[in-house]
Structure 1
Amino acid sequence: MDGKRLSDPTRFAPEPAVEPLETLPWWIVLVPLVPVASSYLVIAGGFVAHQGADPGFPENVEFLVMGVASVLVLAALFVWWDRETWRAAVPVRRPSIRELGAGVVGSGVAVGLLWPATNVAVAAIGFSPRTPAGASTTVGLVAVVFGVVIVAPLAEEMLFRGILFGYLLSRWGRISAAVGGSVLLFGIVHPGAAGVLFAVLSGLLLALLRIRYDNLVGAWLMHALVNVSAFVMAIGLLPATY
């Protein structure tokens, strides 16, 4: 390893950062899907247990389940992997001012441009627009804050732009292929046509931040600001851009 960063314009390739990931099993690509799969399983299990009747789950329980599952998945990987593999899979270091600024700008582009454009596009072909998750109960509010505002930005960046991107890059050897694969899976875990399209487009910006700075902090900041913006718009503290 020569120790150069991804941000070095003379060497725009992160192979040294992902060498330990080459030995991971193929099913590691399924790990980022575990949180959303867990929520579907819990909800489906509730309906099966009640023979198809409404199981009476609390409002926004799916976000609570996804948040808990994300924490457990990352904790398990942290314990299972040696520190070299973990650092390769989850590159987190002190960010530069430029990286933080890029994260803020990226969030503005996502909320102010991509979100409304996505809703216009899907509405034009007959699909429902994407609206942020709100809450009418205390439990529902806690579920959204925990699962969407706090856990999701950090966990999804570690899982998709960290572990999944790094593994695909180590196996395929091409940044474009790794970005494409990780962005497509990122889109799949978001419900609805508008949700998938917005996730894919914003996922491309998040991937660019990850690659440009060889770090997850800028991408996490952008993701967090997008989710926080959606939440405060949903509860009426900011005018909606969607």
Structure 2
Amino acid sequence: MSSPARRWGLPAAALVLAVNAVGFVVAAMLIDEQTAATFFVALTVPTMVAALLAVAITVFRGNGPVTDFGLPTTLREAGAQLRAGLVWGAASVLGGLAIVVVLLALSGTTEESPLTEIGLPSGWKVAVALWVWLLAPLGEELMFRGMLWGALEKRSMSAGWTRVLGSPWVTLAITAALFAAWHGEWWRYIVLLWGGVAIGMARLRTGSVFASWTAHSMNNLLPAISVLFLPA
């Protein structure tokens, strides 16, 4: 028996992304003093609120996050999605490193992380590292490979869309491009774009945000570890 049609689409996805974007703007306006605690709040709260909104929308206007985001319901499903996520996460890491090497060879410059300007005590380093590794990927996957992906899938089944525009590959391309642009780090847009494609492949192959979250977390593992070695 198929699940009832969900009553959310592109407007809901746009709302979630808008809440995330506005949250970062408001956080930057309200937080003047750049301490470790205030930086952590500004870093985490906008994404957390947007992710919770995404889940709430699936609960009240859809079939719940398990169905709408393709989350596993058995250990067998979880294992298959985990393996797919690890494979595409590895592809994201290796491809990203190769692109960075090429970019460094061409430009010879890199951008410093904003974390280096604040200074983080050891406890805050662990908190930020866990956020970068696990929780930020979860929030972003609920937004991009959850809400936006699902909204584009729904739109592709509507009348008026051509066969090409309704292709899952177009959904992959749109979500990857917007995911890369969303970070606002244009000096590494190509790296983020490749990451968005590889992470999206995990979603495409499994139909699950759990797989893309696994891939995204694997992609973020090295940056998370690097946080632990930043100066205090």
Q: TM-score, normalised by structure 2?
A: 0.74
Shift of 1:58: 1.4
Contact 1:186 1:203 (8 Å CA) reproduced: yes
Contact map agreement 2:5 2:62 (CA 8 A) in 1: no
Aligned pairs for 1:207-226 (under 5 A) are: 207-226=200-219
Query: Is 2:166 the partner of 1:193?
Result: no
1:202 equivalent in structure 2: 195
Counterpart mapping for 1:73-92 below 5 A:
73-80=50-57, 81-84=60-63, 86-92=65-71
Q: Which residue of 2 aligns with 1:155?
A: 139
Q: Where does the alignment leave 5 or more consecutive residues of structure 1 unmatched?
A: 4-16, 47-54, 238-242
The equivalent residue for 1:232 is: 225
Give the match's secondary structure for 2:34. Answer: coil
The 1:101/1:85 distance shift into structure 2, 3 A limit, reads closer
* Map of 1:43 onto structure 2: 28
**Cα deviations by residue, 1:20-74 (Å, 9 ceiling, x for unpaired):** 25x546253252353354223321344xxxxxxxx32213845533422222233
Q: Quick one: which amino acid aligns to residue 97 of structure 2? A: W
Q: CA offset at residue 132 of structure 1?
A: 9.5
Tell me what 2:159 maps to: none
Q: Give unmatched runs, 5+ long, in structure 2.
A: 157-165
Alignment match, 2:6? 20
Change (3 A) 1:25 1:19: same
Structure 1 residues 154 and 116: alpha-carbon distance in aligned structure 2, compared to 1, 3 A threshold: same
Residue 128, structure 1, aligned to residue 105, structure 2:
no
The one-letter code of the counterpart of 1:75 is L
Change (3 A) 1:119 1:129: farther
Does structure 1 conserve the Cα–Cα contact (< 8 Å) formed by 2:85 and 2:211? yes
Cα contact 1:168–1:178 (8 A) shared by 2: yes
Q: Which amino acid is the alignment partner of residue 31 of structure 1?
A: V
* Cα distance between partner residues in 2 of 1:111 and 1:132: 22
> How does the TM-score come out when normalised to structure 1?
0.71
1:182 aligned partner: 175
